Structure 1
Amino acid sequence: MKNILICTDGSSYSHEACLYGAWLSQQTQAAISVLYVTDLRQFEIPAVADFSGSLGIQPFEGMISQMHEVEEIKADFVQEHALKTLKDAGVDESQITFHHETGLLVEVMSDYADVADLVLLGKRGENVNFATEHLGSMLERVLRSVEQPCLVTNRQFKPISEVAIAYDGGTSCQKALDYIAANEPFRSMDLHLIVCVEGHKEEEATQRLQDAESKLQAAGLFPQCQILNGEVETAIANYVEQTKIDLLLLGAYGHSRIRELLIGSTTTELLRRCRVPVLCFR
């Protein structure tokens, strides 16, 4: 791990993402890039016209100019806060760069994520106090579009020592195993390898668990192995809470959009239920 990308919007969750980024940087000596994206949509004429029209203010161009000025002030504040958080957490200033872009986060991310080994972003954003049970509006789109592993951070930073891998045998979960084997910090952590059984497929789950365990053991890692029974989301969330897991790894959005529309997304539900950081692989 040489480069960490932290996405920030200045919210409390972004603050915690910076703390996790600082902690990981200290474990790996990775450089940190902090990215703040001004949402281009707030400057679009129809949105501004609706707002300004209700106040009887014209022309719209003057208002847009003022909005740009306010946004620049906010970006300076976000930069100052992020850099202070990282430096106070022990990251050397020479390892930190800050970037401010205007556009859509999902589109801007493609230019930055390609050179990152890990992307960090908060589970929720600026509207956290108004939508406490909802994920950030752009989170799912980012997770679906970025090929690099994405660490979705929670409300309060905690050093990571207990790690659970929710393994389903899919390609994305294979990536998770490879990532753990290749990154030194995981060797000092307690690993939990879990497979969830729904219905009557315990024999298949046992074989899947043994295959994953063998792969980790070949890399010198020796996880605790556990087969869980019941609904996947509930069983994994309960295990994370009861075992005091600090980080959950899983393959993200492995099913089709149609299936998820009909029965929901396991990834999204686990992000909602688990009050720990979730490292997602696609």
Structure 2
Amino acid sequence: MKTVLTCLDHSIYTQSVLDHAIWAASRLGAGMELMHTLDRHPEHSPTSNLSGSIGLGASEELLQELAALDEKRSKLALERGRALLDEATRQARAQGVEPVHPRLRHGDLVDALAEIDTAFDLLVMGKRGEAADMAKLHLGRNVERVARAINHPMLVASRAFKPIQRVLVAFDGSASARKAVELAARHPLLAGLECHVVIAATESPESKAAMHWASQLLDAAGVAPRIEMIPGHADTVIADYVRLHAIDLLAMGAYGHSRIRQFIVGSTTTTMMRSCLVPILLVR
């Protein structure tokens, strides 16, 4: 059975992440894995262990008090994480999703995902976590790391969920972008959605060939896409198209593995995740 792995924290994106995951699981006929990681970072967290930084001459009593405080905070974080997963499980089951399995993990999120990389079909997480600076459109510290690390499609949820009717595939002819087109043609997640394909390029033999390939593939699958070639920088072209055509979901190729590929494509991927106000489906 297909599985949608859903990464949950205590950020303002949490409800939207869950709503997007329930939508995806319903379309795929999939079960859900709900995962919350307890990953402590002293540089960001008020729950840091302070017992090692109080200096020489500290009393044994003070050390014990700090250790007890840290233990209490850890227990509270554990209880809070369980409560989060219990509520998410309740909501998913209320929407008809089965089976639903909560996972409470300790350690780094990327490490946890690597351990179960073959056990899910789609990963869903928010653009930003609890520590991200919303005013500056910062990504959460884990989003880019996860996008580069996993080999499965990844749905990056927007701030709030809304019904998804129109999907835009940002197409540049690359291998990962071709997989995004193939997903639009054949994957049940995108079946029946109004499909747009945009190539940010001037007309050339290469861009015309890419458009022809995408058109043929989608037509053969019974999809009637709107395909456009628009000159300009990909970041601007895609963002403008999303806004002008009321696009609900952006599908695009994820980061490549080589350093050159990460520099050329990764910058566009990151910019879109930071600035685009709709959910983004990243495809390897």
TM-score by length of 2: 0.87
Counterpart CA distance in 1 for 2:21 and 2:187 is: 15
The correspondence for 2:240, drawn from 229, 238, 241, is 238
The letter of the residue matching 2:6 is I
Report the secondary structure of 1:165's partner residue. Answer: strand
Q: Distance in 2 between matches of 1:52 and 1:254?
A: 41
* 8 Å Cα contact 1:25/1:91 also seen in 2: no
Of Structure 1 and Structure 2, which has the larger fraction of its residues in helix? 1
Establish whether residue 37 from structure 1 lines up as the match of residue 47 from structure 2.
no
1:134-180 per-residue CA deviation (whole Å, 9 max, x = no partner) reads 01111000000000000000001011110010111111122222323
Q: Which amino acid aligns with 2:244?
A: Q
1:220 aligns with 2:225: no
Describe the SS at the equivalent of 2:160: coil
Residue in 1 that maps onto 2:72: 66
Instruction: Judge conservation of contact 2:154–2:283 (CA < 8 Å) in 1.
Output: yes
The answer (yes or no) to whether the contact 1:110–1:146 under 8 Å persists in 2 is yes
| Cα distance change on mapping 1:242 and 1:262 into 2, 3 Å | closer
How many pairs are equivalent? 275
Q: SS of 2:120's equivalent?
A: coil
2:7 alignment partner in structure 1: 7
- Structure 2 unpaired stretches of 5+: none
| 1:58-207 → structure 2 map (5 Å cutoff) | 58-59=63-64, 61-88=67-94, 90-92=95-97, 94-128=98-132, 132-197=136-201, 201-207=203-209
Measure, in 1, the Cα distance between the counterparts of 2:50 and 2:260: 37
Aligned 8 A contact 2:173 2:207 in 1: no
Tell me the CA shift for residue 214 of structure 1: 0.8
Distance 1:243 1:91, change over 3 A: same
CA contact (8 A) 1:5 1:113 kept: no
- Residue 33 and residue 264 in structure 1: after superposition, are their counterparts in 2 closer, same or farther (change >3 A)? closer
Tell me by how many angstroms 1:255 deviates: 7.2
Instruction: Quote the RMSD (CA, aligned, Å).
Output: 2.7
Partner Cα distance (2:280, 2:210) in 1: 22
1:53 aligns with 2:54: yes
| Distance across 2 between alignment mates of 1:261 and 1:23 | 33
Match of 1:267 among 266, 269, 278: 269
Distance, in Å, in 1 between the alignment partners of 2:165 and 2:264 is: 37
Residue by residue, what CA displacement relative to the aligned partner does 1:41-95 show, whole Å, maximum 9, x if unpaired?
4599xx52378639x741454343223212211112211331233244x134x42
Matched residues in 2 for 1:31 and 1:264: separation? 31
Q: Is the 8 A contact 2:255 2:261 kept in 1?
A: no
Contact kept, 8 Å, 1:196 with 1:205, in 2: the verdict is: no
Distance 1:96 1:179, change over 3 A: same
Shift of residue 253, structure 1, vs aligned partner? 1.6
Contact 1:52 1:58 in 2 (8 A): no
Distance verdict in 2 for CA 1:50–1:265, change over 3 Å = farther
Any conservation in 1 of the 2:21–2:124 contact (CA below 8 Å)? yes
